[in-house]
């Protein structure tokens, strides 16, 4: 297996775990925990279990994606609107990277905890909306990337 093929494998597996995890939290875990005795605590427990996995696969997706761009000398794709799906992948990766590595540790977790103490159900609704938006954007990006590469 050459290095470009290995980078593609790492990239695809990383995206499957990353977006699959977000999908699972969004459409399985969040609806189930709404009826829990302490839904916010349950949500945080699930997030705490997944966050390290998410961080690893987001890093791997970024590294492998940028490696493939480098290996294919594909940087000019950022200058071509026909490759908008490359922009979409990068934008999505950037959002998740900023949330996981900057916003969450610096202020988002504290904000969520404070808000959840006052209005737990409404806070979960906001978390659910954010997850749904990110899941839909992720799925659109995946479809666009598959079409862009193979269409």
pLDDT tens digits for range 78-96: 999 999 999 999 999 999 9
pLDDT value at 151 more than 80: no
At residue 12, the pLDDT reads: 97
Total length of the chain: 151
| H or E element, residue 131 | helix 120-150
Nearest-angstrom CA–CA distance, 123 and 113? 9
Angle at 142 between CA 102 and CA 84, to 5 degrees: 85
Nearest-angstrom CA–CA distance, 64 and 7? 5
Residue with tokens 């998740």: 96
For residues 108-129, give the mean pLDDT: 93
- 3-class DSSP assignment, residue 36: coil
At residue 35, the pLDDT reads: 85
At residue 150, the pLDDT reads: 85
Round the average pLDDT of the chain to a whole number and report it.
94
């Amino acid at each position: 297996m050459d290095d470009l093929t290995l980078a593609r494998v790492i990239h695809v597996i990383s995206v499957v775990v990353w977006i699959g995890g977000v999908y699972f939290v969004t459409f399985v875990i969040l609806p189930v925990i709404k009826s829990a005795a302490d839904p916010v605590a349950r949500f945080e427990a699930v997030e705490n279990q997944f966050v390290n996995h998410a961080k690893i696969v987001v890093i791997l997706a970024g590294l492998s994606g940028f490696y493939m761009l480098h290996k294919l000398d594909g940087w000019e794709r950022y200058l071509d609107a026909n490759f908008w799906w490359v922009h979409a992948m990068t934008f999505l990766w950037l959002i998740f990277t900023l949330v996981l590595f900057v916003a969450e540790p610096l202020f988002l977790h504290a904000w969520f905890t404070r808000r959840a103490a006052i209005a737990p159900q409404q806070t979960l609704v906001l978390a659910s909306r954010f997850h749904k938006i990110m899941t839909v954007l992720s799925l659109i990006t995946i479809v666009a990337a598959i079409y862009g590469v193979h269409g």
